[in-house]
Amino acid sequence: MVYNQLSSIRIWVKQHKWISFLVVGAFAAASGWLWQGRQAEKKEIPAVKADKRILSEGIVFPVRYAQMVMPVDGTVGQILAQEGDRVTEGQPLLRLVRRDYEARVGSAGSDVARAAAAVEQARVNWLDAERELERQERLAKVGAISKQQLDQAGTATERNHAALAQAQADLVTQQARLAEAEGLYNKTELRSPINGTIAYLDVKLGEHAAIGSVLVRIADETSWEVRSDDLTELAIAKIQTGNPVQLTFDGIPGLEIPGKVKFIRPYGEKKRGDITYTVTIAPERWDDRLRWNMTAQIAISPTRD
Least confident range from 72-76, 225-229, 244-248: namely: 72-76
- What does the alpha-carbon distance between residue 79 and residue 118 come to, in Å, rounded to a whole number? 43
Q: In what order do the strands lie in the sheet with 196-201?
A: 65-69, 214-219, 196-201, 86-87
Superfamily of domain 99-187: Helix hairpin bin (1.10.287.470)
* Residue 230: predicted pLDDT: 87
Burial class (CB in 10 A: 0-12, 13-18, 19+), 229: middle
**Quick check: 262 and 242 in contact, CB under 8 A?**
no
Model confidence at 210, in pLDDT bands (50, 70, 90)?
confident
H or E segment and range at residue 103:
helix 99-141
Identify the CATH number of the domain defined by range 65-97+189-221.
Answer: 2.40.50.100
- What does the alpha-carbon distance between residue 49 and residue 31 come to, in Å, rounded to a whole number? 33
**Quick check: 254 and 300 in contact, CB under 8 A?**
no
Averaged pLDDT for residues 80-97: 96
**Quick check: 264 and 275 in contact, CB under 8 A?**
no
Domain edges within the chain = 2-44, 54-63+223-300, 65-97+189-221, 99-187
* Residue count (the chain): 305
**Quick check: 181 and 146 in contact, CB under 8 A?**
no
Please state which of the four CATH numbers 2.60.120.10, 2.40.50.140, 3.40.630.30, 2.40.30.170 is assigned to the domain occupying 54-63+223-300: 2.40.30.170
When comparing pLDDT for 52 and 134, which is higher? 134
- What does the alpha-carbon distance between residue 152 and residue 162 come to, in Å, rounded to a whole number? 15
Model confidence at 176, in pLDDT bands (50, 70, 90)?
very high
* Residue 21: predicted pLDDT: 47
In angstroms, what is the C-alpha Rg of the chain? 46
Res. 48: pLDDT tops 60 = no
- What does the alpha-carbon distance between residue 254 and residue 5 come to, in Å, rounded to a whole number? 71
Closest CA to 185 of 68, 72, 69: 72
> pTM of the entire structure?
0.68
* Residue 22: predicted pLDDT: 44
Closest CA to 202 of 90, 63, 67, 65: 67
Specify the DSSP class assigned to residue 47. Answer: P
Q: Residue 212 carries which side chain, given as an amino acid letter? A: G
**Quick check: 160 and 118 in contact, CB under 8 A?**
no
* Residue 33: predicted pLDDT: 47
